[in-house]
Chains A and B, each alone.
Chain A
Amino acid sequence: MKSRTRRAHLVAAACLLVLAVYPVINPWQPYPQAVLLLGFLLAVQATSWNIISGYAGYVSLGHSMFLGLGSYTVGILAARWGVNPLWVAPLGGVTATVIAVLIGAVVLRTRGHAFVIITIAMLLAAQIIAVNARDLTRGSDGITLELPFWHRDFQNIPFYYAFLALLVLTVLFSAWIRRTKLGTGLIAIREDEGKAATIGVDTTRFKIVAYAASAFFIGVAGGVYAYYLTFINPVGSFAILGSVTIVLAALTGGRGTLYGPVVGAFLVNLVSEAATVYAGGVQSRVLLFGGALVLVVLFLPKGILPTVEAWWRRRRPAEVAYIEPLAVRERVPQPPEPGDVLLSLRGVSRRFGGLTAVDDVSLDVRQGTITALIGPNGSGKTTLFNLVTGGLPADSGEIWFDGRRVDGLRPWRRCHLGLGRTYQVTRLFKEMTVRENVVAPLADARWRTMVSDAVRGHEAERAGELLDLVGLGRFADQRAGALSYGQQKLVELAQVLMLEPRLILLDEPAGGVNPSLLGRLTDVIRELNARGVTFLVVEHNIPLVLDLCDPVAVLAGGRLIAEGPPGQVREDPAVLEAYLGDDRLPAVR
């Protein structure tokens, strides 16, 4: 695994070296240089696009807008200020970033499909503005820039190096993002956005940052490109076909990988050149790119690099040594004395249409307890969890956590206050490795945390410790989706522990877990509880509940019908009624 990434970096460095010396070895060949140069430009765009659409999974179909924005910023400012376009090219990046933040702040607040739609619309809107804001852009006539200041003998070689440098910077930037908690957070959003929010990922901010990050280098490149062309106009600068090539390049090479978009960009660029030479220009290019996009989506959806990697992995699978599961420990730690109220629900209700799933529930969870929440299926337990963690808003009532009212807060804010949860059906990020899953959570909202290293250093060490705690350290580099269900439950617990939460909500921790793993699980829960973590547990395994938890609360039909020590609840007639008999059912004859 490690060596494979290192090998990829080596190959990339070798390619870079060849490209860097190419104009020196072969200086009098303008045509291949121009082809390579356009390849660099497309690679910059595809690599940038990959940050929002590959890592975070939000596809943009209007990304060439940022190239146009960069071009126009530079074209306008260079003429106004009378400076060389290259000096103001970074400002092209600034414009692109600012516009991305503005658009993102409107459409990225929700999940789902609005984003892709708005990206197409904004590309066309930018074209309309460029045509109509004649005072600024000279409309359809376009803007002519000054000619390059260097001697003609140098041809386009300075542009060649400028774009190559931009490409290197973009790839380094993308690699850096992927390594930080920002990067793991983005992948988490792609895999399961709702879950990402409950492990402390401020999904709105992450998406906006990713969109802005995906715009900057394209904007700078747009500025340089305008100087290279020495002429810009609305139709050329905001061309939808540009967006198509970006998408096609990233998709062909491998969406979500570091080098895939670069590889794809060179391929697409070559095919595009071949089409211009042999198949006669723009007319056929629309058909060619469209057809290629359809074929890639249908037959190579993962892209070249991931497909090759999967093939390689199948040929040489990494062995994981089998180790006997650790024996259950003898010593049972003493539970701490119950303290103050940590979580308090006051008259909380939630309706789905005519169904009241949670009906006026008031419940206190005291510090240091392992409180159980039991009840028949459909009694509202999971809905109650969702109300507490913020997956769903409550219709009425108040939720207080650690002396703060939290029912109006977004899920990640509640998480940062110390609320963690696991799910009834595990929701790990299946495409990530086990270790990446455990480092994905964010314990606070600071920007420093967001850009801190995720896969190395302190965080990775802690992830290793937590995986050892649940006994799964040797699976750290496996894909989470490859683990058994019970193991996934334990990984999800380790993931929550990464947050150092004060209260953990466990949704059926024992469901589908085999007895030996179950022993491990109760062990871990007791151990953590002894260290001061409070638990609220939903569970159907009643012997486990009676053994582990105190007090026990019982929900039936959305209402809280009993609460108290396990022994007392077990004898409660209302509880027996709820579980064993129901007078609404027809009598058995």
Chain B
Amino acid sequence: MAHFVQAIALGLLIGGVYALMASGLTLIFGVMRIINVAQGAFLVLVAMVTWWLWNRTGIDPIVASVVTTPMMFGFGWLSYRLLIARIRGSSPSMSVLLTFGFALVIEGVLNLTAGNKFKSAAPSYFEESFRVGAISLPKAQVFGFAAAAGVLAVLYYVLHRTWTGRAIRAATQNPSGAALVGVSAAGTGALAFAIGSATAGVGGSILSVLYPFFPASHYEWISRLLGIVVLGGLGSLPGAVTGAAILGLAETLTATYGSLGWSTLVFYLVIMAVLLVRPQGLFGARLREDAA
């Protein structure tokens, strides 16, 4: 029983981290109908920078997100202005191909600069755990979860309580309508892309502690994150959180009771099973597509 509770607790902690990582993806899709395939590469990039900072200065990897978050905000903003904005208005598949190419470029650059070896930031508390009754919660996971929950709360606040957030949500629902009332689609796009990238600042820092990584890790991460948003329904933040929790649980339960090797596969099986029953995902809205 303690075994089971332990697995559930771990699954939820991991789910929280996944939720944060997927939130940027779903936000960007919501506003621009762009699937940012480079989001996984953003995470690995941040993990690499975090590892480097930790290695050089000894700064705690999770605290390092204070540096990496604004860095990614700027990086996202620039990426939007220099790349994404150029293909606005062409077919959605072009944006997938563009961001996919961008991900490869990041991978290639990391390969050449940081080398092709597994890395992991291991701060002093890495091996320690909190004990609650019979179950033990690794400190790294708990801190990661806390940081993720904090960032998600801020994100929710920004989207729902500030003018900027309202502009972003307005542009999500009706770009031309939003433009008519003074919300610039290009401006909101750049902002949403920057915020979406900034979530990778914290997400990547957490990643560097919890998982070993190397430049090509981004494939694994992006397919995991994309799985989460498809499961939750593209563009929905509550959907991403729910999807992340479900998949975090599925993964830890398989790892506990099955084998570690198959746990990733269970992840994909769950996604296919959900799509079989609900093609638009758990929280996916059916939009009015009949406009004619």
Give chain A's interface residues, CB within 8 Å of chain B: 53, 57-59, 61, 106-107, 109-114, 116-118, 120-122, 124-125, 128-129, 131-132, 194, 240, 244, 247, 251, 283-284, 286-294, 297-298, 301, 352, 382-383, 386, 391-392, 423-425, 427, 507
CB-CB < 8 A to A121: which residues of B?
223, 226-227, 268, 271
Select from chain B the residue with minimum beta-carbon distance to A119: B223
Chain B: which residue is nearest A107 at the CB level?
B275
Known: A121-B227, A121-B268, A283-B111. A298 touches B83 (CB 8 A): yes
Q: Contact: B219 with A240, CB < 8 Å?
A: yes
Given contacts A59-B96, A128-B264, A297-B98, contact A287 B104 (CB under 8 A): yes
Do A114 and B230 touch (CB < 8 A)?
yes
Query: Which 4 pairs between the two chains have the least Cβ-Cβ distance?
Result: A290-B104, A287-B108, A293-B101, A294-B101
7 interchain pairs, CB-CB under 8 A: A59-B93, A116-B96, A120-B222, A125-B264, A240-B219, A283-B108, A290-B106
On whether the beta carbons of A290 and B222 are closer than 8 Å, the reply is: no
Nearest-CB residue, chain A, relative to B289: A194
User: Are B234 and A113 interface neighbours, CB within 8 A?
Assistant: yes
Kindly supply a per-residue 1/0 record for chain B positions 103-121, scoring 1 wherever the CB is within 8 Å of any chain A CB and 0 otherwise. 1111111011000100000
* Pairwise interchain contact B292-A424, C-beta atoms closer than 8 A: yes
Per the bound structure, the CA–CA distance linking A244 and B91 in Å amounts to: 19
Q: A114-B275, A298-B98, A507-B292 are in contact. Are A288 and B108 (CB under 8 A)?
A: yes
The listed residue (B93, B111, B262, B265) touching A116 by CB distance below 8 A is B93
| Among candidates A112, A120, A424, residue contacting B219 with C-beta atoms closer than 8 Å | A120
Main secondary structure of the interface of A (DSSP, over half): helix
Residue from B90, B94, B96, B281 in contact with A61 in the complex, judged by beta carbons closer than 8 Å:
B96
Partner pick for A125 among B37, B83, B268, B279, CB 8 A cutoff = B268
* CB-defined contacts of A118 to chain B, threshold 8 Å: 230, 271-272, 275
Binding site for A on B (CB under 8 A): 29, 35, 37, 83, 86-87, 90-94, 96-98, 100-109, 111-112, 116, 216, 219-220, 222-223, 226-227, 229-230, 234, 259, 261-262, 264-265, 268, 271-272, 275-276, 279-281, 288-290, 292
Neighbouring A residues of B91 by C-beta, 8 Å: 57
Chain A residues with CB under 8 Å of B111's CB are 283, 286-287
- Quick one: given A109-B279, A284-B112, A293-B100, are A117 and B94 in contact (CB under 8 Å)? no
On whether the beta carbons of A106 and B97 are closer than 8 Å, the reply is no
Query: Are B97 and A59 in contact (CB-based, < 8 A)?
Result: yes
Contacts A247-B97, A290-B102, A290-B104 known; A283 to B116 CB distance under 8 Å? Answer: yes
Tell me the complex Cα distance, A382–B290, Å: 9
A290 touches B230 (CB 8 A): no
| Residues of B close to A125: CB separation below 8 A | 264-265, 268
Q: How far is the CA of A53 from the CA of B259 in the complex (A)?
A: 36
* A residues less than 8 Å from B268 (CB atoms): 121-122, 124-125
Dominant secondary structure of chain B at its interface with chain A: helix
Known: A116-B35, A244-B104. A425 touches B292 (CB 8 A): yes
Closest Cβ of chain A to B26, distance in Å, is 12
Interface residue from A298, A352, A423 paired with B86 (Cβ < 8 Å): A298
User: With a CB–CB cut-off of 8 A, which chain B residues contact A131?
Assistant: 261
Q: Are B222 and A301 in contact (CB under 8 A)?
A: no
Q: Is the CB of B105 within 8 A of A297?
A: no
In contact, A132 and B227 (Cβ under 8 angstroms): no
When distances are taken between beta carbons in the complex, the residues of chain A under 8 Å from B223 are: 117, 120-121, 124
Complex contacts, B105 vs chain A, CB 8 Å: 287, 290-291, 294
Q: Which residue of B lies closest to A283 (CB)?
A: B111
CB distance from A430 to the nearest CB of B (A): 13
Q: Which one, A57, A128, A293, A298, contacts B93 given CB within 8 A?
A: A57
Q: How far is the CA of A247 from the CA of B103 in the complex (A)?
A: 15
Residues of A within 8 A of B96 (CB): 59, 61, 116
Closest to B264 in A: A128
**Chain B residues with Cβ under 8 A from A240's Cβ?**
219
Chain B min CB distance to A480 (Å): 16
Contact (Cβ within 8 A) B108 A113: no
For residue B112, which residues in chain A have a CB less than 8 angstroms away from its CB? 283-284, 287
| Distance to closest chain A CB from B128 (angstroms) | 31
Residues on A with beta carbons closer than 8 Å to the beta carbon of B226:
117, 120-121
Given A106-B272, A294-B98: A301 touches B90 (CB 8 Å cut-off): yes
Report the Cα distance A251→B35, complex, angstroms: 19
User: If the complex has contacts A114-B230, A291-B105, are A128 and B276 also in contact, measured as CB distance less than 8 A?
Assistant: no
Cα of A287 to Cα of B222 in the assembled complex, Å = 18
B280 touches A110 (CB 8 A): yes
Known: A117-B226, A286-B111, A290-B107. A106 touches B275 (CB 8 A): yes
User: Which residues on B sit within 8 Å (CB–CB) of A53?
Assistant: 93
Complex Cα gap A289–B83 (Å): 17
Q: Are A286 and B108 in contact (CB under 8 A)?
A: yes
